[in-house]
Amino acid sequence: MSIDYQSLAVEGVRSLTPYQPGKPIEELAREYGLEPDEIVKLASNENPLGPSPVAMEAAREALEEMCRYPDGNAFTLKQALARYLQVVPSQLTLGNGSNDVLEVIARCFAGPGDEVVYAQHAFAVYPLVTLAIGAKGVEVSAKDWGHDLPAMADAISDRTRLVFIANPNNPTGTVEGETAIRAFLDRVPERVLVVLDEAYCEYLAGTDDDVDGISLLRDYPNLVVTRTFSKAWGLAALRVGYAVSSPSIADILNRVRQPFNVDTVAQAAATAVLGDLEYLERSREVNRKGLEQLTAGFADLGLEWIPSAGNFVAVDVGTNAQEIFQGLLEQGVIVRPVAGYGMPRHLRVSVGLAEENERFLEALKRVLERREA
């Protein structure tokens, strides 16, 4: 008798479904016999500008050191980041992407039998890290696609250890204002940690929804804010994210994270890009215009979308979103189906350059027309 090794996995892990990443360009090229440069990928909320030249230069230089282990405490990056955020370095925990930090937070503060609260349609990594540690996920119904913060406060029990909030949320693009977040935090017992995931906060600058989680740390010691270099900063492949918290919480997180979880090239590029504020500004501008272009295109096609504060937008294409997704693939356009998020009618489209957005909108029009014919 051979052993069924899957049955040996811990219970939470057995119930996991794998995270579905955006389809890589090379994979679509192989499957459909397309040239990689004819493919438009708007599926992973990456920065369409390409990397900052300043970050590229720093990364190239850092490659010279690839035979040595990285600085496990990332002294230079933490100094630069602390200055940029106006916090002290002991408040920072770096991760191999902020996904890594989210996982470390869950492992440090929850375990089997504990409850972790998050919202319906919220970022897929929250249930993933919750189930992986054997904790119980408590999913609170969304309100107008966004977080129903009063209902989330109601869902906190004696067993709750953690709450995850994505602001803005992926894949809905919804954002909760500072008043609502403060009202929520006022209701959360101090023994419950609240993780405010601000992966897209850079895109809020100058809007009415410009919530800055870090400014809330003073009033709420149970708050942990996470951010990333993967989106507006354009370093998704290098995997750098971080948490900002009290030094006491950061001390715990830093004990558990892998000692060399951010590599030398990533540290160098992230440090350098923090000095390239022009790149950040250009990223915001391209995003603002791209969102206008995409939503104007949806309006022309008679489609509804969820207003987004991020660098992507979820559009309602009707009951057969999977078929539309396939049709777009055949036209060399990769977007993201979000049925796994309980949104079977929507596709999530990342904001691209003007010509990429145009290619996508034209392809979408063709696919929709073909369905009607």
Q: Residue numbers of the site for ligand PLP (CB under 6 A)?
A: 45, 97-99, 123, 166, 170, 197, 199, 228, 230-231, 236, 241
For the chain, the helix, strand and coil percentages under 3-state DSSP, each to the nearest 5: 45, 15, 40
**How far is residue 89's CA from residue 220's CA, in Å, rounded to a whole number?**
19
For the bound state, the minimum distance from the C-beta of residue 186 to ligand PLP, rounded and expressed in Å, comes to 24
For the bound state, the minimum distance from the C-beta of residue 330 to ligand PLP, rounded and expressed in Å, comes to 27
For the bound state, the minimum distance from the C-beta of residue 34 to ligand PLP, rounded and expressed in Å, comes to 26
Give the residue with the Cβ less far from ligand PLP, 93 or 99. 99
For the bound state, the minimum distance from the C-beta of residue 273 to ligand PLP, rounded and expressed in Å, comes to 14
Give the residue with the Cβ less far from ligand PLP, 81 or 361. 81
Give the residue with the Cβ less far from ligand PLP, 103 or 276. 103
CA angle 251, 118, 283 (to 5 degrees): 75
Give the residue with the Cβ less far from ligand PLP, 216 or 301. 216
For the bound state, the minimum distance from the C-beta of residue 171 to ligand PLP, rounded and expressed in Å, comes to 8
Report the residue number whose CB is nearest to ligand PLP.
Answer: 97
For the bound state, the minimum distance from the C-beta of residue 32 to ligand PLP, rounded and expressed in Å, comes to 26
Give the residue with the Cβ less far from ligand PLP, 123 or 279. 123
Give the residue with the Cβ less far from ligand PLP, 91 or 230. 230
Give residue 42's identity as a one-letter amino acid code: L
Cα 197 versus chain centre, distance: 8
Give residue 357's identity as a one-letter amino acid code: N
For the bound state, the minimum distance from the C-beta of residue 96 to ligand PLP, rounded and expressed in Å, comes to 8
Which residue intervals of 172-276 are DSSP H helices? 178-187, 213-216, 247-256, 264-273
65: how many CB neighbours lie within 10 A of its CB? Answer: 14
Which one, of 360, 326, 340, 332, lies nearest residue 128 by Cα?
340
Please report which helix (H) or strand (E) contains residue 136, including its range.
strand 136-140
Give the residue with the Cβ less far from ligand PLP, 234 or 332. 234
For the bound state, the minimum distance from the C-beta of residue 309 to ligand PLP, rounded and expressed in Å, comes to 12
Which one, of 196, 206, 194, lies nearest residue 287 by Cα?
206
CA angle 5, 9, 21 (to 5 degrees): 100
Burial (CB count <10 Å: 0-12, 13-18, 19+), residue 309: buried
CA angle 326, 26, 95 (to 5 degrees): 100
- 160 φ, ψ (degrees, to nearest 5): -70, 130
Give the residue with the Cβ less far from ligand PLP, 228 or 283. 228
For the bound state, the minimum distance from the C-beta of residue 128 to ligand PLP, rounded and expressed in Å, comes to 12
Give the residue with the Cβ less far from ligand PLP, 311 or 331. 311
Is it true that the peptide bond before 259 is cis, omega within 30 degrees of 0?
Answer: no
Give the residue with the Cβ less far from ligand PLP, 126 or 331. 126
Token pair listed for 242: 């971080």
**How far is residue 345's CA from residue 147's CA, in Å, rounded to a whole number?**
19
E-assigned strand segments in 148-257: 160-166, 193-197, 223-228, 241-244
For the bound state, the minimum distance from the C-beta of residue 2 to ligand PLP, rounded and expressed in Å, comes to 37
